[in-house]
């Protein structure tokens, strides 16, 4: 059962659903509490992770090396964007004043 879940890539589908739910819960929590994580850093960080999950799924389902490479490059781009967003344009690390 677990072997089929992993080898079919369904385990990745489950993890993606959980990650999307996490983003939604964080967003709702921030909206109602008035404090929390900014959307842009959250989305680029989660986007990088989701692309890694999609690369894993492509590999598990034998979708071809092109899809694995595509999702890995997407993850790299989002990771670089995450670093840029966190460090800001001045090169200094951004600290959320609301924390």
- Summarised one tens digit per residue, pLDDT across range 17-58 is 999 999 999 988 888 888 878 888 899 999 999 999 999 999
Predicted local confidence at residue 91, as pLDDT = 56
Could you state, in order of their start, the residue ranges of all structural domains in the chain?
2-87
- Summarised one tens digit per residue, pLDDT across range 76-88 is 999 999 999 988 7
Indicate the DSSP class of residue 93.
P
Closest CA to 49 of 87, 93, 19, 88: 19
Rounded Cα distance, 4 and 7, in Å: 5
């Amino acid at each position: 059962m677990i072997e089929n879940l992993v080898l079919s890539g369904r385990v990745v589908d489950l993890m993606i659903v959980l990650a999307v739910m996490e983003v939604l819960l964080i967003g709702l929590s921030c909206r109602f509490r008035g404090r929390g994580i900014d959307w842009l850093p959250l989305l680029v960080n989660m986007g990088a992770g989701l692309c890694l999950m999609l690369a894993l799924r492509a590999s598990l389902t034998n979708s071809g090396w092109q899809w694995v490479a595509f999702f890995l490059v997407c993850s790299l781009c989002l990771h670089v964007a995450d670093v840029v967003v966190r460090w800001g344009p001045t090169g200094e690390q951004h600290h959320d004043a609301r924390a």
